[in-house]
Amino acid sequence: MTVTPGWYMALAAVLFVIGATGILVRRNALVMFMSIELMLNAVNLTFVAAGRQIGLIEGQLSVLFVMVVAAAEVTVGLAIIVAVFRRRSTASVDELAGMRG
């Protein structure tokens, strides 16, 4: 049995749904942040599988750019979450929604 790009697309869809569910259900900023990263990785898997199916390198090139942006997002996002957690002692987005200057 060979693994076709359709299997990778199905796996990417499952990972994306898990990430979207994590964002919609959980209210912790760290869990939501990890869910966004999971969704980005699902999209990366889709790019690579589609590029492999078509036979072009552009899928892998797109993944490279997405990974660079994701790395910058992780750096800035985690710094903000840590700073808010130190100040408020909570990572709940419901309590952070009412922040005032």
For residue 100, tell me if it sits in a domain. no
Query: What domain range includes position 60?
Result: 5-95
CATH of the domain at 74: 1.10.287.3510
Percent of the chain exceeding pLDDT 70 equals: 93
Tokens at residue 33, please? 């942040």
Residue 89 gets the label, from left (phi > 0), alpha (psi -120 to 50) or beta, of left
Q: CA end-to-end span of the chain, whole Å?
A: 59
The DSSP secondary-structure symbol of 28 reads B
Only one residue has tokens 């994701």, namely: 70
Q: Is residue 101 part of a domain?
A: no
pLDDT tens per residue, range 26-62:
888 888 989 999 999 999 999 999 999 998 999 999 9
Position 27 in a domain:
yes
Domain count, the chain: 1
Which pLDDT tens digit goes with each residue over 53-66?
998 999 999 999 99
Is residue 64, in this structure, part of any structural domain at all? yes
| pLDDT at position 96 over 90 | no
Q: Rounded to whole angstroms, what are the CA distances from 79 to 10, 11, 73, 74, 75?
A: 33, 31, 10, 8, 6
Global pTM value: 0.82
| Banded model confidence at residue 90, pLDDT cuts 50, 70, 90 | confident
The alpha helices in 1-101, defined as continuous H runs, are: 5-25, 29-54, 58-88, 93-96
